[in-house]
Each structure stands twice: as structure tokens, then as C-alpha cells.
Chains A and B, each alone.
Chain A
């Protein structure tokens, strides 16, 4: 079956530090890939997405590139802010598996001033 493996947290960074959260996946065919973010006390929100190989999704200074050769979709941000503190989830939708969605376990990011 499909699976998503995320870098274990928690991750603690100082403001303006560079962020990388690793995500690798296993899926048949060519899934679409997503990063969702969950701020404290709120629901999951879509952060960015990529639907085919070599696509780069970007939003709010975050970026992730769909790497088919390494089956990865790592999340990066050049300079984090305290307001980026949240839980980040990597996810995929597999079209060869009837549109089934699979989420990673989430990575908690804390940014300190």
C-alpha cells in the first residue's frame, strides 16, 4: 500500500533559521503530493501542493519540489518566523489507488525568538 514517512520531530529552531522537513513516500503510479499545516487550536490547512514530477509548490515562503527519482517532497523555508510554529503533515493522493489519501505522522516545529 501507499505510505508517507516524515522526519521525526519535534524540531526547534531560532527565528530566521533555515528549515527543512523531510518527506519520502511510497506509492504506485504518480501521486499528487501535499503539505498541510496545523496551527495550535486550528484545523489542517493546505500549505502547498505539486501534482507531477519536478513541480515546485510554494506558499508563504515555503517550498517543496516533487522528486520522483528519490520519491521525496521535502519542505523548506529560508527564514522561519515564530508564527510558523505548527505541526506540518506531508500527504499524497494516489490516482492508481482510486484516489486514496495517505498522511504522514506530522512534524512539530517550534520557532523561538
Chain B
């Protein structure tokens, strides 16, 4: 069974530029998460989807971050414009329901210069 697939693995951009990350969850998983992981810290939830509905986006900086999950499958996370402080690893995860453990992708390491 394929796991959670994220792309790209690495991204280097200049500040003020836009950037987008893509995630394909495990087939049949209704719940999808986006996390941000800063160096030396644990993942912090940005947004959680149940199918195509964002049920928890309280930690998403909505002035510059946006996300979508069309058709309740793949998801994209966008930052526009990026700031130096956005440098981190962005993790996507999915689970069969929000009550179950999450399975993580390998993440996208973003460096903003």
C-alpha cells in the first residue's frame, strides 16, 4: 500500500515569493493534516480536513497561508508571500478518521532566503 506522498521534497525560494506544496494521502483516508515542524521541535498542526471540509484551521496564518482539498483527496498548501520565518519542514499526514493515528509523508523542507 502506498504511503502519504508529498512533493517537492525540498524547496528554496526567495522571500516574498509564493510556494506551494502538494500531498496525496493514503487511499481511503478521509482525514488529512498539514503540520509545520521547526528545527528541534515537534509538528504543529496548521489545518485538518475531514474529506473536503477544513474542520480545524485555527493555527493557519490566514493572511499568507491557504490550503485546499478538492474532491476530498489530494491537497495543496500555499504560502504567498513567503517570509524568512516560514523556513521549516511541512508535513502532510492522513488517517482513516480523526480518532485514529496519522500516517506521515516525508515532508517538504522549505528554505526561504
Contacts and interface: CB of A to CB of B under 8 A. Distances in A.
Q: Do A and B come from one complex?
A: yes
Contacts of A45: 104
Interface stretch (B10-18, B35-43, B70-78, B80-88): B35-43
A100 B103 CA distance: 15
A75 to B, nearest CB: 14
A96 B45 CA distance: 17
Contacts of B103: 46
B56 A43 contact: no
Interface stretch (A66-74, A77-85, A103-111): A103-111
Nearest to A34: B101
> 7 smallest A-B Cβ distances: which pairs?
A103-B42, A99-B98, A43-B106, A44-B104, A43-B104, A105-B42, A46-B101
Interface of A: 4, 32, 34, 36, 42-46, 49, 89, 91, 93, 95, 98-101, 103-106
Interface of B: 4, 33, 40-45, 48, 55-56, 91, 93, 98-99, 101-107
